[in-house]
Amino acid sequence: MSLMALREQLNGLVNSMFLEGLLDDQFEQLQMLQDESSPGFIAELITLFCGDSERILAELTKLLDQAVVDYQKVDAFVHQLKGSSSSVGAQHVKLACVQFRQFCEEHNKEGLKGIYFFRCLRALNVVKHEYYLLRGKFDTMLQLEQRIQAYESKQQI
Amino acid sequence: MAVGGKRRWWWKRRAAVVAGVTIAVSVWLGSHCYFRRENMAKAEEALVSMCEERARMIQDQFAVSVNHVHALAILISTFYYQKQPPALDQETFAYYTAKTAFERPLLNGVAYAERIIHSQREIFETRQGWTIMTMKREPSPMQDEYAPVIYSQETVSYIEAIDMMSGEEDRENILRARATGKAVLTKPFRLLESNHLGVVLTFPVYRSGLPEDATVEQRVEATAGYLGGAFDVESLVENLLRQLAGNQDITINVYDITNASEPLIMYGPQIPEGYMPLSHVSMLDFGDPFRKHQMHCRYREKPPLPLSAITTPFGIFVIIMLGGYIVFAAKNHYDNVKEDCRKMEELKVQAEAADVAKSQFLATVSHEIRTPMNGVLGMLDMLLDTDLNLTQKDYAQTAQVCGKALISLINEVLDRAKIEAGKLEIEAVPFDLRSILDDVISLFSSKSREKGIELAVFVSDKVPEVVTGDPGRFRQIITNLVGNSVKFTERGHIFVQVHLADNSDLGADEKVYSGLNGLSQSEKVQIMSDCTFDTLSGFEAADTRNNWENFKLLLSDEMILPEASTSDKEPDIVTLIVRVEDTGIGIPLCAQDRVFTPFMQADSSTSRNYGGTGIGLSITKCLVELMGGQINFISRPNVGSTFTFTAVFKRCNKDAIADTKRTLSEALPTGFRGMKAFIVDGKPVRNAVTRYHLKRLGIAVEVANTVKMMLNSLTRQNSNFRTGRQPYIILIEKDSWYTGMDVYLHNQLLLLKQNDCVLELPKIILLVTCEYDKMSTGSLVDTVINKPLRASTVAACLQQVLGMEKQQKKELSNGPTNLRNLLAGKNILVIDDNKVNLRVAASALKKYGARVECAESGKDALSLLQLPHKFDACFMDVQMPEMDGFEATRQIRLMESKENEQISIGGASRGEDSMIVEWHLPILAMTADVIQATYEECLKCGMDGYVSKPFEEQQLFQAVAKFLVSKPSSDS
């Protein structure tokens, strides 16, 4: 009974995330990839993604803290983040990254350091915000899945 | 600066004026002096000649007189021949001398004085009866000898008995004369009686027998007497000179200069008078070597300056001044013109710059306007999609229509500006001309149907199917022209034809023009009354070339050389001639020459009635010229216009044609090949158009003018051959149709079928121009095709009528299964530095049955890919730290090529060439930004293709399918 409830809860969570636009088609694709042969695929992926993202965000924060900001490095990191987020289907994070990269590019082009620096900073904050929002949901999702799996294994026993 | 320049210019001008005047004056002076001197020289010359003439004359006359006196002396001496006193008396002497006086013009008289020695005086005095007198008329005192005048000419008879020895000059004379035996002259002195200046000439008279070389004493001894004559120089010379011309002008002085220090005046005024600076001196020889004479001549007055010496220089002066003025004025004018010209140049440059700036400005601004306008239009679109009430909807629609009009105007302006700024470039891509024409036609089909105009297109068979050029611009040109035609045509037809330029001669233009203009009124009227023309719709067209006669020629040309165009020796360039003919209102004659000027419509009322900006044709002209062609038109008011333009395209090679046909144009269905159709149409041009469309579908066509003829032909044909292809379709023009026709036709066809003339009933299709024509069709017609005809619409209709199933293209069977087939059992390496991406890609590929290995950097990948390896393909991220995808690929390819060399060497040595398999790992790039540059870069470094991240099934399949062979199922 509670397994069903858990599953429903999980489905509801995922659906709400789709509705909010936090996730996109890509996540659906990923869900399709998860089958009996690789039951923990999504969980594994999310863990990977979160670890990766947090590392990148930490790097970015460090970079932007410095007196002289190396925007090319920033750009490279944001690009990475964008890549992984789009792979996971984290739509909002991806869009935030796109925005961030735009500022980086404009910064490189225009050389109006002051304005763009703040914009970049803000963009980073947006990315962080989106990421943490997503992470919260992902955490819930993972917990739910773990519990489901635990139940399943218990039942099997 | 300018003031300084002006001042300098002013000074220059002044200097030039002064110099000019100076030159003129000096020339004037110079020439005047020259004339003067010349005049003087001439006067001197004249003086010299006059002087010489006078001198010679006087001298001659003198000489004549002297000679005569000499002769007289000889004569007298003969009287002394053995006679003492001589046998001569005063009377004889006087008579003789008087008679011969003309021989001595300069002598006023001669006299003879005998030499009387004092001893003989008395005898002599007694014999003569008078005493010897002195000059003063006194009895002579006693002297050694005397020389009393015994004979005298009457003119000088007063000196008779006067002793010549008593006068100083005479005495001297006598002495000298008898000593020399020659004529001797005294110095000038005042003569007796006349008191004129004169000289006395004395000749000795000797008794005979005096030898030639006698001494002075002998001579004195032999002297018998003296013959003397007085030259009254003054009066005689006066007389003499009077006879000569120019006597008044000159004064003459004659001097005795025997004593050079004090010349004695013989003739002329005592004080020399006249014009002193000019004089001439001539020597006179009066036969007396002892005495020397001179003649001085000079002008009485200064020789007058001739008028020419004044007028000529003055004339020259005037001429020079005039010339100078002319030069000056010309220079001035030249300067002005040059200045103007410079200003003009400046203005021109400015104007040109402004023009370019304008064009650029227009281009920029139009572009800038277009961008927000697109936003506005998009928003309006979205607004219209929302729930609006009627009024709101109306407003929004109006706004949208206006916006669209504005956008199209801006596009036109932008085009024009781009063309002017030289920014418009003509593309060169292969395209299908016919389908473009079909598209254009379909654009205007609804309008033409509304108006009931025939709209048709015909492309000659010789025009290649695919040509290389700019389809967009070509379409624009055609659209502009057809759009205009549709706008201005209310009845009749619009007909677009495309031919190859070489078999439709452009040279006929002028003939046609002249023919048009030369058309007399009556002929025109006749044409008007002769209501049907051999044109598409039967209305008269402006360009007579488009009538059936010409059209037939073009068609027959094609018949003769049906496949000539496919020979190998095709020129690379295809020049097409396109005609757009309408039967609209035409262009007023007065407006015809500015049709191609931007923003010029025929007249302002045109835009009121028909709208439009008038920029279309000018753009069209520019576009045509950009495409290497030219455009012209023939138009007759109320008859119509025909626009003709040429365009140069490149021919495509065969592969490109095949390619283009597959990709560019929606291919026409091929299911109709081998079918046969009958067209019933009385108008040759129109049925040619219908035939053209059916031919494109591969349908063989026969034509009949009326339904009856068609039926006849069907009967005949089938009774003759009994076999052959049956016409499946009969297309009938609306003209040949009348109510009830359907029943009649149906019956006839049924009859034919019964007679076995046809195997099955042909389908009947009606061709109509207007919507409302549809109404009157009968029920037995299978379908109605609305004109304008297009191959694709015709095809669609036919499919529907013939019940042909659309051959569904075999859809690609389920993608994933295909992918599974392709990828199952393949060893695939995925390289990405992003773990998440890597994981996703790997599991996605695994899902399709592939065995996936992962590498997180280019280096790892390289170590995994050391030859020999087991991988069938490799997915490579492009952006990676340290070694990016491009670099990694290059390395892999390098490794492979080394290995391949070794293998080929080894293989060759072992001779098992068939087993040689070259290493070439398919590498696909994975990239998030799918732009062309990235793709090119991928290919450059040796990748085989690319897929976008995250994977899309279809794309993945396409990319993989190229080089992965699906393994037999047993493998997987």
Using one digit for the tens of pLDDT, what is the confidence trace for B669-678? 666 777 778 8
Flag if A87 and B841 touch (Cβ within 8 Å). Answer: yes
Kindly report the nearest CA distance between residue A109 and chain B, in angstroms.
19
Residues with Cβ < 8 Å from B846, sequence gap 6 or more?
A33, A38, B852
Flag if B881 and A76 touch (Cβ within 8 Å). Answer: yes
Flag if B843 and A38 touch (Cβ within 8 Å). Answer: yes
Residues of B with Cβ-Cβ distance to A84 under 8 angstroms: 834-837
Flag if A76 and B950 touch (Cβ within 8 Å). Answer: no
Task: Express each pLDDT in A62-71 by its tens digit.
Answer: 888 877 777 7
**CB–CB contacts below 8 A, A to B:** 58
Q: Which CATH architecture has domain B827-906+915-964?
A: 3-Layer(aba) Sandwich (3.40)
Query: For A17-26, A113-122, B500-509, B697-706, which range has the lowest pLDDT when averaged over its residues?
Result: B500-509
Q: Give the Cα-Cα-Cα angle B826, B832, B838 (nearest 5 degrees).
A: 65
Reported confidence tier of residue B967, pLDDT bands at 50, 70, 90: very low
A84 vs B834, B844, B846: nearest CB: B834
Whole-number Å distance between alpha carbons of B34 and B732: 110
pLDDT at B805 over 50: no
For position B817, what pLDDT does the model report?
Answer: 58
For position B607, what pLDDT does the model report?
Answer: 54
Residue in chain B closest to A50 (alpha carbons) equals B836
Flag if A44 and B879 touch (Cβ within 8 Å). Answer: no
For position B725, what pLDDT does the model report?
Answer: 53
Q: Which CATH architecture has domain B59-298?
A: 2-Layer Sandwich (3.30)
Flag if A45 and B949 touch (Cβ within 8 Å). Answer: no
Residues of A with Cβ-Cβ distance to B843 under 8 angstroms: 30, 33, 38, 41, 45
For position B552, what pLDDT does the model report?
Answer: 66
- Of the residues B819, B820, B830, B836, the best mutation for testing chain A's interface (the one with the most A CB atoms within 10 Å of its CB) is B836
For position B348, what pLDDT does the model report?
Answer: 92
Flag if B837 and A83 touch (Cβ within 8 Å). Answer: yes
Kindly report the nearest CA distance between residue A1 and chain B, in angstroms.
32
pLDDT at B8 over 70: yes
Residues of B with Cβ-Cβ distance to A82 under 8 angstroms: 928
Kindly report the nearest CA distance between residue B817 and chain A, in angstroms.
15
Mean pLDDT of chain A: 80
- Closest to B546 measured CA to CA, from B479, B503, B497, B510: B497
pLDDT at A45 over 90: no
For position B397, what pLDDT does the model report?
Answer: 84
B506 in the Ramachandran plot: left (φ > 0), alpha (ψ -120 to 50) or beta?
alpha
For position B561, what pLDDT does the model report?
Answer: 46
Q: Which residue has the tokens 């607004």?
A: B383
A87 vs B833, B840, B881: nearest CB: B840
For position B346, what pLDDT does the model report?
Answer: 94
Reported confidence tier of residue B423, pLDDT bands at 50, 70, 90: low
Reported confidence tier of residue B656, pLDDT bands at 50, 70, 90: low
Residues of A with Cβ-Cβ distance to B879 under 8 angstroms: 76, 79, 83
Could you tell me which residue, A109 or B451, shows the higher pLDDT?
B451
Q: Contact at 8 Å (CB) between B826 and B968? A: no
Reported confidence tier of residue B524, pLDDT bands at 50, 70, 90: very low
Fold (topology level) of B351-421: Helix Hairpins (1.10.287)
Residues of B with CB under 8 A from a CB of A: 833-837, 839-841, 843-844, 846-847, 879, 881, 928, 949-950
For position B109, what pLDDT does the model report?
Answer: 82
- Backbone φ and ψ for B503, nearest 5 degrees, come out as -100, 10
For position B334, what pLDDT does the model report?
Answer: 92
Flag if A45 and B836 touch (Cβ within 8 Å). Answer: yes
pLDDT at A61 over 80: yes
For position B912, what pLDDT does the model report?
Answer: 45
- Of the residues B823, B831, B834, the best mutation for testing chain A's interface (the one with the most A CB atoms within 10 Å of its CB) is B834
CA B352 to chain centre: 21
B837 vs A41, A44, A84: nearest CB: A84
Whole-number Å distance between alpha carbons of B188 and B291: 11
Reported confidence tier of residue B721, pLDDT bands at 50, 70, 90: very low
| Start-to-end Cα distance in chain A | 17
Q: Which helix (H) or strand (E) holds B255?
A: strand B250-256
For position B807, what pLDDT does the model report?
Answer: 40
Whole-number Å distance between alpha carbons of A25 and A9: 20
Residue in chain A closest to B843 (alpha carbons) equals A33
Residue in chain B closest to A38 (alpha carbons) equals B843
Reported confidence tier of residue B14, pLDDT bands at 50, 70, 90: confident
Residue in chain A closest to B841 (alpha carbons) equals A87
Could you tell me which residue, B25 or B820, shows the higher pLDDT?
B25
Flag if B949 and A76 touch (Cβ within 8 Å). Answer: no
Q: Give me the mean pLDDT over the B243-258 stretch.
A: 77
- Of the residues A30, A87, A105, the best mutation for testing chain B's interface (the one with the most B CB atoms within 10 Å of its CB) is A87
Q: Give me the mean pLDDT over the B923-930 stretch.
A: 72
Alpha helices (H) along B386-459 = 390-420, 433-451
For position B212, what pLDDT does the model report?
Answer: 76
Flag if B841 and A79 touch (Cβ within 8 Å). Answer: no
B836 vs A76, A79, A84: nearest CB: A84
- Of the residues B820, B830, B839, the best mutation for testing chain A's interface (the one with the most A CB atoms within 10 Å of its CB) is B839
CB atoms near residue B728 (< 10 Å): 21
Whole-number Å distance between alpha carbons of B893 and B451: 67
Tell me the range of B158-162, B175-179, B344-348, B754-758 where mean pLDDT is highest. Answer: B344-348
Residue in chain B closest to A79 (alpha carbons) equals B879
pLDDT at B205 over 80: yes
Flag if A26 and B950 touch (Cβ within 8 Å). Answer: yes
Q: Give the Cα-Cα-Cα angle B669, B437, B532 (nearest 5 degrees).
A: 105
Q: Give me the mean pLDDT over the A7-34 stretch.
A: 82
Whole-number Å distance between alpha carbons of A23 and A28: 9
Kindly report the nearest CA distance between residue A34 and chain B, in angstroms.
9
Strands B189-190 and B197-206: antiparallel
Task: Express each pLDDT in A91-150 by its tens digit.
Answer: 888 888 888 887 777 766 655 555 667 777 888 888 888 888 888 888 888 888 888 888
For position B165, what pLDDT does the model report?
Answer: 82
A45 vs B839, B881, B949: nearest CB: B839
Mean pLDDT of chain B: 76
Q: Contact at 8 Å (CB) between B881 and B833? A: yes
Flag if A52 and B835 touch (Cβ within 8 Å). Answer: yes
Reported confidence tier of residue B338, pLDDT bands at 50, 70, 90: very high
Q: Which CATH architecture has domain B429-513+533-557+571-601+613-658?
A: 2-Layer Sandwich (3.30)
- SS3 of residue A91 by DSSP: helix
Q: Give me the mean pLDDT over the B743-752 stretch.
A: 78
Task: Express each pLDDT in B296-321 by its tens digit.
Answer: 888 888 877 778 878 888 888 888 88
Q: Which CATH superfamily is domain B676-802 in?
A: Response regulator (3.40.50.2300)
- Closest to B920 measured CA to CA, from B950, B944, B904: B944
For position B550, what pLDDT does the model report?
Answer: 64
Q: Contact at 8 Å (CB) between B146 and B163? A: yes
B844 vs A33, A49, A82: nearest CB: A33
Flag if A33 and B834 touch (Cβ within 8 Å). Answer: no
Whole-number Å distance between alpha carbons of B592 and B608: 19
Flag if B835 and A84 touch (Cβ within 8 Å). Answer: yes
* Helix/strand number for chain A, H first, E second: 6, 0
Residues of B with Cβ-Cβ distance to A32 under 8 angstroms: 847
Residues with Cβ < 8 Å from B964, sequence gap 6 or more?
B822, B823, B826, B872, B873, B922
User: Number of C-alpha atoms within 13 angstroms, CB side, residue B716?
Assistant: 6
For position B735, what pLDDT does the model report?
Answer: 72
A83 vs B843, B844, B949: nearest CB: B949
Q: Which residue has the tokens 């690789």?
A: A38
pLDDT at B152 over 90: no
For position B388, what pLDDT does the model report?
Answer: 81
Kindly report the nearest CA distance between residue A83 and chain B, in angstroms.
7
A86 vs B846, B881, B950: nearest CB: B950
* One fold for B676-802 and B827-906+915-964: yes
Domain ranges in chain B are 59-298, 351-421, 429-513+533-557+571-601+613-658, 676-802, 827-906+915-964
Q: Give the pTM.
A: 0.43
Task: Express each pLDDT in B81-95 by its tens digit.
Answer: 777 777 788 888 888
Flag if A87 and B833 touch (Cβ within 8 Å). Answer: no
pLDDT at B806 over 50: no
CB atoms near residue B363 (< 10 Å): 21
* Helix/strand number for chain B, H first, E second: 26, 29
A52 vs B836, B928, B949: nearest CB: B836
Flag if B840 and A45 touch (Cβ within 8 Å). Answer: yes
Task: Express each pLDDT in B593-632 by its tens digit.
Answer: 777 776 655 555 555 555 555 677 888 888 888 888 888 8
Letter string b/e over residues B364-386, b meaning 16 or more CB atoms within 10 A of that residue's CB: eebeeebeebeeebeebeebeee
Flag if A79 and B836 touch (Cβ within 8 Å). Answer: no
